[in-house]
Amino acid sequence: MFSSDQAVVSAPPEDEKRVVQAYQRGSGKKQRDDDCLNDTGLRFNDDVPVEVIETLPPELTGPDADQYDIIGTKTTYRLAQRAASYVVLKLERPVFRRKGDNKPITTPAPFNVLDNSVADVSLLAGLMVDKFQFHLPLYRQHQRLQQAGITLSRSTLTNLVKRAIALLRPIVDAQTQSVLRSRVLAMDETP
């Protein structure tokens, strides 16, 4: 057994120093995949709209512009974001009558997924995708609509999503029946 006066603590000698080797860190060229567009590594497919912005220096727009020849172009790609936009579709249908007849005639309104609704199918799809795929609650989508200058109540958005879900119910039922008819049932609850 040791007592406190018997404990031996060895202190490192003060004159002992460690030598650390100095080095310089280099920045190597990044290895990019073959599908990279350029050295910046920005990748996008053909569906992405590309806005071309030409910048001309003052030498090419001034009075001495004919003294210069353009020998090439340097291209820089930048990823930009545009605000999500909404549009109001104004559907105009003529009301007319045959000459000599007083009965007015109008063409029927175009088909809408939800009867007597102000929502186009594109709005319904956008609401559902934002809510269920991107986990964007309806109150935030409501704020986005307000910022775009569109006034709808939150209950309207809730009712639109509820009615759109009801339209998808036959698909869910068909998938459930297909799963129950299969030989092997398995479930993976990971998202």
Average confidence (pLDDT) over 165-183: 95
Q: Calculate the alpha carbon distances from 121 to 9, 107, 148, 149 in Å.
A: 80, 21, 19, 20
Q: What is the pLDDT of residues 47-99, one digit of tens each?
A: 888 888 888 888 888 888 888 888 888 887 777 777 678 899 898 888 888 88
- Report the percent of the chain where pLDDT is more than 70: 83
Rank 2-11, 59-68, 176-185 by mean pLDDT and report only the highest. Answer: 176-185
pLDDT(149) > 70: yes
For the chain, report the end-to-end CA distance as a whole number of angstroms.
60
Nearest-5° Cα angle at 160, 155 to 164: 150
The structure's pTM equals 0.63
Average confidence (pLDDT) over 102-111: 87
> What average pLDDT does the chain have?
83
Rank 26-35, 105-114, 122-131 by mean pLDDT and report only the highest. Answer: 122-131
Average confidence (pLDDT) over 99-114: 87
Distance CA 23, CA 158 (A): 62
- Which has more pLDDT, 42 or 181? 181
The residue among 85, 104, 103 whose CA lies nearest residue 93 is 104
What are the residues whose beta carbons fall under 8 Å from the beta carbon of 176, sequence distance 6 or more?
A: none
Strand partners, 96: 105
Coil, strand or helix at 27: coil
44: which 2 tokens? Answer: 């996008």
The tally of CA atoms less than 13 A away on the side-chain side of residue 12 is 5
Rank 64-78, 104-118, 137-151 by mean pLDDT and report only the highest. Answer: 137-151
Say if residues 160 and 124 touch (Cβ distance below 8 Å): yes
Q: What is the pLDDT of residues 112-127, one digit of tens each?
A: 999 888 999 999 999 9
- Report the percent of the chain where pLDDT is more than 90: 32
